[in-house]
Structure 1
Amino acid sequence: MKTQVFLVSGRNPELRAQRIERLLCEQASAGKITLMASTEIFSFAAVEAQADLFRLDAERKARGIHVLRLSPGCLCCSSKLVLSTHLARTLRLNQPNVLLVELESQSHPEQVLQLLKEPQWTDWFADITLVEEIS
């Protein structure tokens, strides 16, 4: 079984979150879903908004979605090792049918896409789709 990957990018964390929720709904019947979400929104969110995010993560987990919050940074530059480590572990242990990866605003979507097309990932991914935030 290979994993369908969606890379969700864009400058606005709130719009990315909305797009992720739509994708999660669209992919609900696809089987096991893993969300590798950015922590960027926590850097500016008020305490109440952060509490709402933790509740949202708990609700997603209750729906059977494996949620993993990634440390801050561009996933092709400063956080490349973090991405590779978490990705390998998630694919091995969770074996998701669908993987959603949220890219922080400073990430380089095309470079992350190329990173995931490297030979080490060939046997893991069915398809990789770059999704821009929509308003």
Structure 2
Amino acid sequence: MKTRLFLVPGRDPEARARRIEALLSEQAGVGKITLMASTEVFSYASVEAQAELFRLDTERKARGIHVLRLSPGCLCCSSKLVLTTHLARTLRLNQPNVLLMELESQSHPEQVLQLLKEPQWIDWFADITLVEDVA
């Protein structure tokens, strides 16, 4: 089984969150879903907003969505090792049908896309969709 991957870029974390929620709704019923979410918003969100994010993660987990928060940084530059480590582990252990990966505002979507098209990932992905920039 190969995984469908959606990369969700955008400068506005709230707009990305709305797009991710829409994608999660669209993909409901396709099997296992994993969300690799950004932690960017935690760097400036109020305590109340952070609590709401934790509540949302809990709600998503209750819906059967595996949620993994990635450490901050561009996934093709400063966080490349974090990405490849967590991605390999997630694909092997969770074997999701659908994987949504949120890219932080400073990420380089085209470079992340190229990274995920490297030979080591070819057998893992059915297709990779770079979602239209949401902000």
Asked if Structure 1 and Structure 2 have the same fold, meaning a TM-score greater than 0.5 normalized by the shorter chain, the answer is yes
Please identify runs of 4+ aligned residues in structure 1 that moved more than 2 A. 132-135
Tell me the matched-pair count.
135
Q: CA deviation at 1:132?
A: 2.6
- Give the partner amino acid of 2:71: S
Cα pair 2:38 2:72 within 8 Å, conserved:
yes
Q: Distance in 2 between matches of 1:96 and 1:47?
A: 32
1:121 aligns with 2:121: yes
Tell me the percent identity: 84
Q: Distance in 2 between matches of 1:90 and 1:134?
A: 25
Which residue of structure 2 lines up, in the alignment, with residue 82 of structure 1?
82
Cα pair 1:8 1:103 within 8 Å, conserved:
yes
- 3-state SS of the aligned residue for 1:132? coil
Q: Distance in 2 between matches of 1:134 and 1:75?
A: 18
Gaps of 5+ in 2: none
- 3-state SS of the aligned residue for 1:15? helix
1:48 aligns with 2:45: no
- Give the partner amino acid of 1:46: S
Which residue of structure 2 lines up, in the alignment, with residue 132 of structure 1?
132
CA-based RMSD of the aligned residues comes to 0.8
Q: CA deviation at 1:134?
A: 3.3
Q: Distance in 2 between matches of 1:133 and 1:19?
A: 10
Cα pair 1:19 1:133 within 8 Å, conserved:
no
Deviations 1:3-55 (A, max 9, x none): 00000000000000000000000001110000000000111100000000000
Q: CA deviation at 1:91?
A: 0.2
Gaps of 5+ in 1: none
Deviations 1:64-105 (A, max 9, x none): 000000000000000000000000000000000000000000
Q: Distance in 1 between matches of 2:38 and 2:134?
A: 17
